[in-house]
Structure 1
Amino acid sequence: KEQILTQYILHHTLDEAEVGELAERLDRALAKAEALHAGQRRKTGEEYIWHPVRTAMEVSRYGRIVDWASVEAALLHDTVEDTDYREEDLRREFPEAAPLVEALTKIKDSRILTYQRLFSYVLQDIRVLLVKLADRLDNLESLSVFRRDKQVRIARESAEMYANICRRLCMLDLAERLTEKIGPILYPEAFERFRAAQEELKKGWARPLEDLRQKLAEAFPGDLQARIEFRWNRFRPDVPPTTEHLFTVRIVTASSEDAYRALGRVHLNFRALPGGFSDTLSTPRKNGFRALETRVSYQGRILSFYVAPAPADRFNRLGLLAMDITSPEFNLEYLEELREFLQNEEMDIQDFLRFHKPDAIQVTSPRGDVFSLEEGATALDYAFAVHEQLGLRALGARVNDEEVGLGTLLKPGDRIEIVTADGPVADDRYLDWAHTRKALAALRRYMRRKEAARAAATGRQWVMEAARARGLGEEQVDARAQDRARELGDIPVDELYRRVCLGEEEIDGVLGPGPAGGRLSLFRRRRSQPVRKVRRYVFDDPHIRFCPECAPVEGDEIVGVPEEGRLRVHRVVCPRVAEGGGVPLDWDRGGRGDLRDPGTVEIEVRLQDGPGVLYGVLAAFRDLGLDIQRIQLPRGNEVLTARIQPGSDRTLNRLMRSLRRHGFVKEIRVFPGLENAGSPGGSDAGRPAGGEP
């Protein structure tokens, strides 16, 4: 108890009365936690109360970024989840700590929901994250009592999520502590090699290290700090340990000007390595890290030097913990990015984990502006980092005066120029070339707007076709559409037409009951009045999909079922369609009809394993005289993939019918071949969303 209070007082200016009040509050919170956790023991056998006490001790060290409510929340953080303590009682007895405890209470659901809730609270109150980090640090101490698989799961989560968050917020000391705890669990052999290499270097290179200390003392006399640090922050499980990874020479100066002078002394006394210098002191990373870093040669080994003025060095180590909770500007850029990220409806857990990795590279524009991007960023990511419209209009890029594709990976120091069109040209292929969260989010927003506009245009076309059959003019249709949009809550007319396209709104709802009696089910019986027309093997229509199980082709009687904002086309006899359900559809036989050449296509056939299966599938291609340009035979997941040029829709329809007759064929999907997909900049394109996932 005394340690908690003492650590807190060290970082806060308090008078005697305030200290007395905090001591009373600490007694009350500690007594409540002790009473609620009475009789509970951890897997290690110790009394449970010691876990929240150690968590509170950790939080009390976090400086002015936390307040006393944070300490109370640390003491009480498991009470609602692990005892019969009710949230309403918590709010009444500890009103300041209650919101933090509620945010920390786990959701027994998917990981992404848990993290979404946690970080939605972080946006409102950063203290939630700090208490969670303290909780995780203490939990890692007792991992050895769990099964190996649980140890690995918790350690990996700590590495992917919490250590990366610490780096993103420049809390590098905390990140290093996490790494030191989880390294032996996730990478036992690599971690032991790194530890052994450090010990061996300390012993076997003792004389050179002493010479280095002497040389540093001569080069940096007086009160300038220059010390050799053996730390874990350079541990990389996939990189063999070398001298530059095992220790760093850290030089701390009084000012930025002194830091540049110190760097000059380093390069005068040690031979600098080409390409080994980095200046983030003048151009900070997005997480606020500022330092001069250089690699030099000394007695046949490569050494890493770090030079920073004292204020920057303190922030580099503590990051967010070096700030004051009352300061409105602490890491606002990070929190704003997090807010934007959490509002992305298409976020998945891998996106979330990648978002928290710190930026790794810096590149420049033709004007010399510096942009920080995460590792793995492409030329397209750079375009979106400059401006969203630049990314949407991008056609290609020049990196260091060399023309490259938009999917080209960038390296530190690259100079990039984007080649643009007059207007937006982005399509689904751009999603394959983007890596950063900002670029992916912008592309998905644009695709949604684009799909909505196309769906609205298609819906209006279908309404106009039905209106002409009833003798209605365009002005009458527009008037009725506006009336219907008002009935639905003053939605935009384009939104009404989009709903028509996706089967969410009936055409009769727009035009009023027609001669068919006003019931969509009658359209199925009256095939002379089709409601919608669709075309097979048109891969650029983002709001139409075809069921892979029933594999409809031209000539089948079909219906559409709204599904996740799109229309899924099924055969009427498909078991996935309820009897009489779905939106009536018909085939678009306009133009050349089934003689149209779909170009190169790829067919995926999901099979049920059994004798003669492969022969039966290949016979279907052989009987139609189709040459298979490329084939990937079933393995493991029983999927056969073949690339062909059928020559016409009719031939492709015949192949589909032949395949689906076999009972061992479970699903058939058709995608455009690479020749059809195309790709600016020379990069291969992935399958566009207009295929049949």
Structure 2
Amino acid sequence: MDQLPDGALMRSPAEMVGEEGGVGVVLRLPPVAPALEDPCAPLRALLVRYLGPEEVERAREAYQFAAAGHHAQFRRSGEPYIHHPVAVACILAELQLDLFTIQAALLHDVIEDCNVSKEALAERFGAEVAELVDGVSKLGQVRFETREEAQAENFRKMFLAMSRDIRVVLIKLADRLHNMRTMGVMTAEKRRRISRETLDIYAPIAQRLGIHAIRIELEELAFSHLYPKRWHALSEAIKTARGNRKEVVVKIQQALEERLRREGIEAQVSGREKHVYSIYHKMQKKGLPFSAVHDLHAFRVIVADVDTCYRVLGIIHSLYRPIPGRFKDYIAIPKSNGYQSLHTVLLGPFGHPVEVQIRTEDMHRVAEAGVAAHWLYKSGGANLNAEVQARAWLQRLLELQTQGGDSQEFLESVKLDLFPDEVYVFTPKGKIMNMPRGASAVDFAYAVHTDIGDQAVAAKINDVYVPLRSLLNNGDRVEVITAASAHPQPGWLDFVVTAKARASVRAYLKTMQHSDAETLGRSLLAKALHSLGSNLEAVGPADFQRILKLFQVGSESNLLAAIGMGEVFPLVVAHKLLPEGEDRGRLVQTARRLGQAVSQFLPARLMREETAKKPLLIRGTEGMPVTLARCCRPIPGDPILGFISAGKGVVVHTHDCHNIREWRKRRDRWVDVQWDPSAQGEFPVNIRVVAESARGVLARIATYISEDGSNIDHVDIEPQDGLYTGITFTIDVHDRDHLARIMRSLRSLPMVSRVQRVKG
């Protein structure tokens, strides 16, 4: 679970924007003040609306159990920690989730924070609640080398728990929403990190599951914490525009209501202001200034049935002229999260575009609550498309898990699935399939079935033979040609975009390469041992067992395969296999002599990567692939350390890089390295310049950098307080002395107040 023992409850930006103009449905937690004698009172008030007295009492039992476990724990604001699980349960009670979900929400931190076992929970509250709590809990007992690895593994566990019970992610989203609402006392750095994670993972999950209300508030809160000045400026601009366009909004709404009334159609017509983040996202995506964004308002028409939706569409099109190409029928072809509506954009009375959404009451509930709407329905025949779509997505996640790969690879695949700008295509039998925009015929083949993808050799789009890498467009009719002898090709990874296709191709290649890599690894290790005066026959089983634990591989076969694939280096393994009394110094002496021989046996993939880069003259890495760490960007003259990293070879960091703190404990991964005195070339490095906010400053600084013989690769500008601006440059330098000259030159400029090198 995300523990953010943070500050007092603050109102969300979504609520603040909604005070005057209205932003649609946003979940609002009844305020829970630290001074309340009974923190459970707001939850009970919500539960009595839809649960019976016996179920409300069982929810209170879970509250009492959680309160006893958290009795000595407090949030950073000083309020009792129990307020957090109660708030999470309140958010879920707003969605009218079932009793088991409410109990699990109240108990969601007790396994992690209160030393309560899953078995004890199952005995007290039942196996279903215990499974939900366990699915939401973090892997607190497992140690990881980096924050990223730990976070990826936590997400992996959550997604797999979701595939067993979708309520896990509903609890997780509610937990993140309350944490985002109460981040006021966190440090700025932590707020930014958590907000970025929210925008990258949690808000897209909410959208993927169709939970519009939670998604909107997560985006608004994350945006306000990540870019507070941009959020404030944009909010003020929207407030000003709201006053200028109020008359237009009222006029359009009245016209719609009057015309529908004349036609005898009962409908709810409401205008809503678009959200701050959605406007910002549109400005970023299309490169527009705020003054060029005219569709700040949208109108929603809710009617009784589907037939009336289409009648209303015709009536509205006769009232205002529709803009060509801006009509979308999500009723006939629902979105992948189950969302259904008719969308049309009209030319309003003052020449500005106006968006109108038309839907039924059932569609509206699904649009706001998504998969959670399943628990709102008490009778059959309801639109459960959102739940069907969500379970189909979770089933795909389960298939990704079976494909293998580490946690970060799994999370990368999930992210690919979280941002589907979709196209709709047809199978030969007329079935509609939604694919991400940019998907190829190979992605389509794997979406139909894994075996189809594995055996694909060609494709027909609209009855025309095309290459497998051909991209799909809306309305295409796609047929895949297969052959029993065919198999996935490595080149497919260059163009497939769906997580399932990428994971399936990777899994096949890993399986096929393992035996070849093992043979190659045995040969490389034998050569390395021979150079040290030993051989494979002289290595005993006990030595190999010691090495297997050291390199965290399960078997000798896996170790040899890792050597063959360039993930573990034969010289290092040979060195570790030698008895403790052996002269380890010979490894360094013979490394240079072996470098050329070893490189001949490296996999072609690694050789291509190495030859594509400029030679990195770093002593101590002969015969090994070398990568300069992007976090600290070492340059000649910097004190450096080398660490073995799977798939990257030797990763070189500066001595003071914060990312290597944990690695310093893993001496088995160290490689003694130093810059070769003859090292030449250009190396990227980051510097941050704080300068006055004035016209021409950026050009002046760039000129000085250029005159000092450096090239600028990237510039990132972040306004400070209106008077000063922080500018981060990525520049190319020859060595540490070259960098020092550039920094001295920039400090001489009168408009520059500070220049520093950035690491991390």
TM-score where L is the length of structure 2? 0.59
1:99 and 2:131 aligned: yes
CA drift of 1:99 comes to 3.0
Q: Distance in 1 between matches of 2:410 and 2:99?
A: 33
Distance 1:418 1:195, change over 3 A: farther
2:259 alignment counterpart: 219
Code of the residue aligned with 1:48 in structure 2: it is Y
Q: Distance in 1 between matches of 2:486 and 2:478?
A: 20
The worse-fitting range, judged by mean Cα deviation, of 392-401 and 301-310 is 392-401
2:370 alignment counterpart: 319
Distance 1:605 1:420, change over 3 A: same
- Percentage identity across aligned positions? 25
Distance 1:271 1:562, change over 3 A: same
Residues 360 and 372 in structure 1, CA contact (< 8 A), matched pair in contact too: no
CA drift of 1:440 comes to 0.8
Q: Distance in 1 between matches of 2:565 and 2:608?
A: 24
Structure 1 unmatched ranges of 5 or more: 459-497, 507-518, 524-559, 589-597, 611-634, 640-661, 667-693
Q: Distance in 1 between matches of 2:125 and 2:569?
A: 61
Q: Deviations over 1:562-618 (max 9, x none)?
A: 13384659998x45523888xxx9x99xxxxxxxxx9999454542479xxxxxxxx
1:547-566 equivalent positions in 2, closer than 5 A: 562-564=560-562, 566=564
Instruction: Output the aligned Cα RMSD.
Output: 4.3
1:71 alignment counterpart: 102
Residues 608 and 638 in structure 1, CA contact (< 8 A), matched pair in contact too: no
Residues 359 and 372 in structure 1, CA contact (< 8 A), matched pair in contact too: no
Q: Distance in 2 between matches of 1:55 and 1:398?
A: 50
Code of the residue aligned with 2:371 in structure 1: it is L
TM-score where L is the length of structure 1? 0.64
CA drift of 1:289 comes to 1.4
Q: Distance in 2 between matches of 1:407 and 1:82?
A: 50
Residues 169 and 320 in structure 1, CA contact (< 8 A), matched pair in contact too: yes
Q: Distance in 2 between matches of 1:296 and 1:23?
A: 48
CA drift of 1:80 comes to 3.3
- In the alignment, which of 322, 329, 353 is matched to residue 272 of structure 1? 322
- In the alignment, which of 368, 371, 374 is matched to residue 433 of structure 2? 371
Residues 5 and 60 in structure 1, CA contact (< 8 A), matched pair in contact too: no
Residues 228 and 249 in structure 1, CA contact (< 8 A), matched pair in contact too: yes
2:278 alignment counterpart: 234
1:340 alignment counterpart: 399
Asked which structure has the greater CA Rg, the reply is 1
1:188 alignment counterpart: 228
Distance 1:636 1:211, change over 3 A: same
1:8 and 2:47 aligned: yes
Question: Match of 2:490, SS?
Answer: coil
CA drift of 1:9 comes to 3.8
CA drift of 1:323 comes to 0.4
CA drift of 1:189 comes to 4.3
Q: Distance in 2 between matches of 1:6 and 1:273?
A: 47
Q: Distance in 1 between matches of 2:315 and 2:469?
A: 41
Distance 1:664 1:211, change over 3 A: same
- In the alignment, which of 440, 452, 455 is matched to residue 502 of structure 2? 440
Distance 1:243 1:229, change over 3 A: farther
2:421 alignment counterpart: 360
CA drift of 1:402 comes to 9.5
1:551 alignment counterpart: none
2:616 alignment counterpart: 607
Question: Match of 2:311, SS?
Answer: helix
Question: Match of 1:564, SS?
Answer: helix
Q: Deviations over 1:274-313 (max 9, x none)?
A: 2111112111222211121122211221121211222122
Residues 377 and 409 in structure 1, CA contact (< 8 A), matched pair in contact too: yes
Question: Match of 1:273, SS?
Answer: coil
2:21 alignment counterpart: none
- In the alignment, which of 574, 579, 582 is matched to residue 577 of structure 1? 574
Residues 322 and 346 in structure 2, CA contact (< 8 A), matched pair in contact too: yes
Q: Distance in 2 between matches of 1:599 and 1:119?
A: 35
Question: Match of 1:295, SS?
Answer: strand
CA drift of 1:70 comes to 2.2
Question: Match of 2:49, SS?
Answer: helix
Residues 357 and 374 in structure 1, CA contact (< 8 A), matched pair in contact too: no
1:166 and 2:216 aligned: no
Q: Deviations over 1:473-510 (max 9, x none)?
A: xxxxxxxxxxxxxxxxxxxxxxxxx9667659x9xxxx
Question: Match of 1:424, SS?
Answer: coil
Distance 1:127 1:364, change over 3 A: closer
CA drift of 1:418 comes to 6.3
Code of the residue aligned with 1:345 in structure 2: it is G
Q: Distance in 2 between matches of 1:570 and 1:82?
A: 38
- In the alignment, which of 208, 214, 217 is matched to residue 177 of structure 1? 217
CA drift of 1:263 comes to 1.2
Residues 107 and 133 in structure 2, CA contact (< 8 A), matched pair in contact too: yes
The worse-fitting range, judged by mean Cα deviation, of 367-376 and 107-116 is 367-376
1:200 and 2:247 aligned: no
Question: Match of 2:343, SS?
Answer: strand
1:40 alignment counterpart: 73
Q: Distance in 2 between matches of 1:207 and 1:95?
A: 57
CA drift of 1:173 comes to 1.5
1:285-324 equivalent positions in 2, closer than 5 A: 285-298=335-348, 299-324=350-375
Q: Deviations over 1:649-693 (max 9, x none)?
A: xxxxxxxxxxxxx95699xxxxxxxxxxxxxxxxxxxxxxxxxxx
1:31 and 2:92 aligned: no
Distance 1:216 1:335, change over 3 A: same
Residues 389 and 424 in structure 1, CA contact (< 8 A), matched pair in contact too: no
CA drift of 1:404 comes to 7.5
Code of the residue aligned with 1:385 in structure 2: it is A
Code of the residue aligned with 2:434 in structure 1: it is S
Residues 417 and 498 in structure 2, CA contact (< 8 A), matched pair in contact too: no
Residues 503 and 562 in structure 1, CA contact (< 8 A), matched pair in contact too: yes
Question: Match of 2:537, SS?
Answer: helix
2:186 alignment counterpart: 146
Q: Distance in 2 between matches of 1:26 and 1:307?
A: 38
Residues 519 and 564 in structure 2, CA contact (< 8 A), matched pair in contact too: no
2:412 alignment counterpart: 351
Q: Distance in 2 between matches of 1:85 and 1:390?
A: 47
CA drift of 1:351 comes to 1.7
Distance 1:98 1:370, change over 3 A: closer
Code of the residue aligned with 1:438 in structure 2: it is K
Q: Distance in 1 between matches of 2:365 and 2:458?
A: 42
CA drift of 1:191 comes to 3.1
Distance 1:575 1:125, change over 3 A: closer
Residues 425 and 435 in structure 2, CA contact (< 8 A), matched pair in contact too: no
CA drift of 1:134 comes to 1.6
1:521 alignment counterpart: 537
Distance 1:228 1:579, change over 3 A: closer
Question: Match of 1:363, SS?
Answer: strand
Q: Distance in 1 between matches of 2:577 and 2:106?
A: 60
Distance 1:419 1:80, change over 3 A: closer
CA drift of 1:153 comes to 1.2
Q: Distance in 1 between matches of 2:472 and 2:232?
A: 33
Code of the residue aligned with 2:354 in structure 1: it is L
Question: Match of 2:80, SS?
Answer: coil
CA drift of 1:337 comes to 1.5
Distance 1:215 1:243, change over 3 A: farther
1:540 alignment counterpart: none
Equivalent pairs, count: 511
Residues 361 and 375 in structure 1, CA contact (< 8 A), matched pair in contact too: yes
